Amino acid sequence: MCSVINIALNNNLILTVVIQANNSERKQLRQQLRKARQSLSTEQQQDASIKLLNNIVANNIVDNAQICAFYLANDGELNPKPLIEYCWSKGVKTSLPVIHPFAKGHLLFLQYSANSKMCSNQYGIDEPVCELPDIVPLTQHQLIFTPLVGFDLNGNRLGMGGGYYDRTLSSLKQQANISLIGLAHDCQQVDALPQENWDIPVNKIITPSRIINC
């Protein structure tokens, strides 16, 4: 069985991808969407990052939060660094995910500030040095901003394929006071994502131009 998925590109063109279902579908779709975001120029990435900040500030998304989880952009992901710095300026604490040292395939969240000691993980991504006093339990967050490779309007999220966020966030299904927010370029939207029963959807998708309540 084949699926037809339309990918929105930044120049208002639609890329139509015909792919086999289901694991093969996710793999091919992931490749196409990663290429789309990687193709953005440095100038486009910087512009998208500032527009993301303006969009979130204009809609008061983070102002009432005490602790927000973020990520450091990699592989063409939408860069939340200006938003992180805005949070610092407002006294909102921030955290970053690190690969859990004991629970395989899970993430641990550590306090992150301008003075945090950093190191590179096994994927070459910067993360805070794992120190016990800096651990922030998931349940202490009000907002968790996640990266993603692709999304649809129902809040379904396609990640890089490692399952780290899905495993880690599965315990939050009943936590109504914690909002999961996916950050993405507009070109990462598709009509519908093939889903597995372990996939964790997000409550909102925020792009440089839109806020999508899912």
Residue 169 assigned as binding residue: no
Beta carbons of 41 and 160 less than 8 angstroms apart: no
End-to-end CA distance of the chain: 28
Residue 127 assigned as binding residue: no
Residue 112 assigned as binding residue: no
Residue 196 assigned as binding residue: no
The model's pTM = 0.87
Instruction: Name the residue type at position 178.
Output: I
Alpha-helical regions (H) of the chain: 23-38, 42-58, 81-89, 164-169
Q: Could you tell me the two tokens for 194? A: 């093939």
Residue 26 assigned as binding residue: yes
What is the pairing mode between strands 143-146 and 93-99? unpaired
Residue 155 assigned as binding residue: no
Q: Could you tell me the two tokens for 76? A: 């063409």
Residue 77 assigned as binding residue: yes
Residue 29 assigned as binding residue: yes
Quote the pLDDT of residue 10. 55
Residue 124 assigned as binding residue: no
Q: Provide the 3-class DSSP secondary structure of residue 118.
A: strand
* Cβ neighbourhood burial of 191 (10 Å; 0-12, 13-18, 19+): middle
**19-50 confidence digits (pLDDT tens):** 344 678 889 999 999 999 999 999 999 999 99
Residue 1 assigned as binding residue: no
Phi/psi of residue 67, each to 5°?
-135, 125
**114-152 confidence digits (pLDDT tens):** 999 999 988 889 999 999 999 999 999 999 999 999 999
Residue 163 assigned as binding residue: yes
**49-104 confidence digits (pLDDT tens):** 999 999 999 999 999 999 999 999 999 999 999 999 999 999 999 999 999 989 88
Residue 143 assigned as binding residue: no
Residue 162 assigned as binding residue: yes
Give residue 11's pLDDT band: very low, low, confident or very high (50, 70, 90).
low
Quote the pLDDT of residue 195. 82
How far, in Å, CA of 145 to CA of 97, rounded? 10
Q: Could you tell me the two tokens for 114? A: 């301008």
User: DSSP string covering 7-32, please?
Assistant: EE-TTS-EEEEEEESSHHHHHHHHHH
Of all residues in the chain, the percent with pLDDT exceeding 90 is 74
**Hey, what domains does the chain have and what are their CATH numbers?**
41-213 (3.40.50.10420)
Residue 165 assigned as binding residue: yes
Alpha-helical regions (H) of 66-107: 81-89
Q: Helix crossing, 42-58 with 81-89: angle to 10°?
A: 40
How far, in Å, CA of 128 to CA of 118, rounded? 4
Longest Cα pair distance anywhere in the chain, in angstroms? 52
Mention every residue, 6+ apart, whose C-beta is less than 8 A from residue 58. Answer: none
